[in-house]
Amino acid sequence: MKKAILFLGLFLALSGFQACGPVIVSHRLADPPPPWFYPHRVETVRYVFFPEFSIYYDLSARTYIYLDGGVWRRNKVLPPRYRSYNLNRSRYERVRNYFDDNIERYHNQNNSNRGRSNKSGVRRNN
């Protein structure tokens, strides 16, 4: 009789877990995104760009990417020259549809001339 009650209890417990839906088991808890990144809708982006500072943030690697002496650097924390800026209050843009590791290519195609004038110093007389 005890075996039948134990079997019935085990059966009910297992069927109850099945009703809960899929269970996802992870070896670590997912880190939340940085406090300055709060998406207003669900979308998948890898990079966020801060145009005022020309800084990218890689959400998947959790690293900042910035130009330092002509070389793109990746770092978990911002260098001292950027630490006085409050990224919580800074404007940022989501980099949509770009998931490659080479952010330099994206920057050269989309943001390298940002803020510069298209006028040259030479005027043509027509």
* Structural domain contains residue 9: no
Domain-embedded: residue 102 = yes
Residue 42 maps to a domain: no
pLDDT score for 111: 78
The per-residue pLDDT for range 35-89, each reduced to its tens digit, is 666 655 556 789 999 999 889 999 989 999 999 988 999 999 988 888 888 888 8
For residue 117, tell me if it sits in a domain. Answer: no
pLDDT digits (tens, 9 = 90+) for 7-32: 777 666 656 555 444 444 434 445 66
All residues at 6 or more sequence positions from 21 whose CB lies less than 8 Å from its CB, including other chains:
none
- Print the domain residue range for 65: 47-110
- The pLDDT value given to residue 95: 92
CA distance 71 to 57: 16
- Classify residue 30 by its DSSP letter: P
Residue 80, domain member (yes or no) = yes
- Please, which residues have CB within 8 angstroms of residue 17's CB and are 6 or more apart in sequence? 23
For residues 47 and 60, give the distance between their C-alpha atoms in angstroms, rounded to a whole number: 8
Q: How many domains does the chain have?
A: 1
Q: Is residue 61 part of a domain?
A: yes
* pLDDT > 50? residue 123: no
Q: Which two tokens stand for residue 17?
A: 């877990």
74 assigned to some structural domain: yes
Does the pLDDT at position 117 exceed 60?
Answer: no
Residue 106's pLDDT is 92
Q: What is the pLDDT of residue 47?
A: 93
* Residue 72 falls inside a structural domain: yes
